[in-house]
Amino acid sequence: MMKIAVLISLFTLSIGSAFAQTATDSIPKFDPKVKNALNMVDQMAYQAGLRYSDLSIAKIKLYDLMARNPEDLRYMEALGSLYFEAGEYASSALVAMDILKINDKNVGALEIASYALEQLGAFDRALPYYESLHLLTGDNFSLYKSAYLQYSMKRYPEAMNSLTMLVKLAKADEKIGFAVSETETQQVDMKAAALNLKGLVFLDQNSKVEAKVAFNEALAIEPTFTQAKENLVKTN
């Protein structure tokens, strides 16, 4: 799984004075000192909500902070992370996509948007975020996920291009997890995982000879790779 940093503490700011609003402004403006004081109170309530596992309060306070500080993406990032960690993928994806409209190189938002949309079954929408994440960070897990989604959507030439690249780029110490039961995950060499997926692309197109070669190459790297063993049987 991707590692997504959750913002669990926000920032201590100084306390200040008076609230002001001009007649021509549609959005209230705060005296900086009062704004800082209100921010500090909301941050304390947010942290208390986290401490006592009351995420509803934490979210409310983040919304207050976002409304008062629309220029500060830290509050949106924290909100997206809270939704994501709670498994509220629709909300976390929406927040992440709003962040990316402002900063399309925000790595945390790309991670959340890609994974959350995938969990929602929106593969076509998740894919561009995985691709952007790989291009931005060089992360091979994102490249594998791109290939997997391309395969799942039967975009076989794209999947094959991604997998050919991944086989070349995969490092010896890179692993990816495959579920072998409800409680057990097998850690597999990234290159072996790419070759296994390559075999599935071939198998889907009824190219059993090429699929068999790919599965055997995967097993040569990772002899205990359960999924590759099972897939190899399908080529007989």
Q: pLDDT tens for residues 158-168?
A: 999 999 999 99
State residue 27's pLDDT score: 57
State residue 188's pLDDT score: 97
C-alpha–C-alpha distance, residues 151 and 228, integer Å: 16
State residue 20's pLDDT score: 38
pLDDT for 29 beyond 90: no
pLDDT for 16 beyond 90: no
Six-digit token pair at 41? 């109170």
C-alpha–C-alpha distance, residues 148 and 200, integer Å: 10
User: Domains in the chain, please, with CATH?
Assistant: 1-137 (1.25.40.10), 159-236 (1.25.40)
Residue whose structure tokens are 């909301």: 42
Q: pLDDT tens-digit profile of 65-89?
A: 999 999 999 999 999 999 999 999 9
Is the pTM for the entire model greater than 0.75?
yes
pLDDT for 207 beyond 90: yes
Give me the chain's average pLDDT, please. 89
CA-to-CA separations, 32 to 22, 23, 139, 178, in angstroms, rounded? 15, 18, 41, 51
Q: pLDDT tens-digit profile of 126-146?
A: 999 999 999 999 999 999 999
